[in-house]
C-alpha cells in the first residue's frame, strides 16, 4: 500500500522513463555478479568507450559489457563528459592515426612475405 503511493508520487514527479532507468541502474548495482568499479576512468577505458560508440552507437549496455565493473550510466556520463571537453575528437584522431600506422607496418607481397 505504501509502496503503491510512493510509486504514484515518483511517476508524477519523474516520469516513467526516468523510473525505468533508475530501477535498471539499481538492479545493476546490486547484482552480486557485477561489482561496480567506482574508481576514476583510465585513459585506456576512455579510448574503449569512444571506439565502441563509433562502432555500435549509443548502446551503453553493450559497451558496458566490454568494460567490466562499469555500469551503463557511468559509461554514458563519461562519454558526454569527454564530448563536452572536446576529448572525443582527440581520441578519435588518435585512434585513426594508430590504425594508419598499423596499416603501414603490415608487410606487403612486394616485401617478399606471403
**Helical segments of 30-111, H only:** 43-56, 60-66, 72-85, 87-105
Q: What pLDDT is attached to residue 13? A: 73
Q: For the segment 45-92, what is each residue's pLDDT rounded down to a tens digit?
A: 999 999 999 888 999 999 998 888 889 999 999 999 999 999 889 888
The Cα 111–Cα 93 span in angstroms is 29
Tell me how many helices (H) and strands (E) the chain has. Answer: 6, 0
- Angle, helices 87-105/72-85, rounded to nearest 10 degrees: 90
Q: How confident is residue 5, by pLDDT bands cut at 50, 70 and 90?
A: confident
Amino acid at each position: 500500500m505504501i509502496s503503491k503511493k510512493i510509486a504514484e508520487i515518483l511517476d508524477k514527479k519523474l516520469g516513467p522513463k526516468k523510473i525505468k532507468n533508475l530501477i535498471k541502474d539499481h538492479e545493476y548495482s546490486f547484482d552480486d555478479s557485477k561489482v561496480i568499479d567506482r574508481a576514476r576512468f583510465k585513459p585506456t577505458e576512455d579510448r574503449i568507450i569512444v571506439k565502441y560508440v563509433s562502432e555500435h552507437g549509443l548502446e551503453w549496455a553493450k559497451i558496458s559489457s566490454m568494460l567490466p565493473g562499469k555500469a551503463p550510466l557511468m559509461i554514458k556520463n563519461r562519454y558526454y563528459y569527454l564530448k563536452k571537453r572536446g576529448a572525443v575528437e582527440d581520441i578519435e584522431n588518435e585512434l585513426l592515426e594508430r590504425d594508419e600506422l598499423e596499416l603501414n607496418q603490415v608487410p606487403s607481397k612486394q616485401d617478399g612475405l606471403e
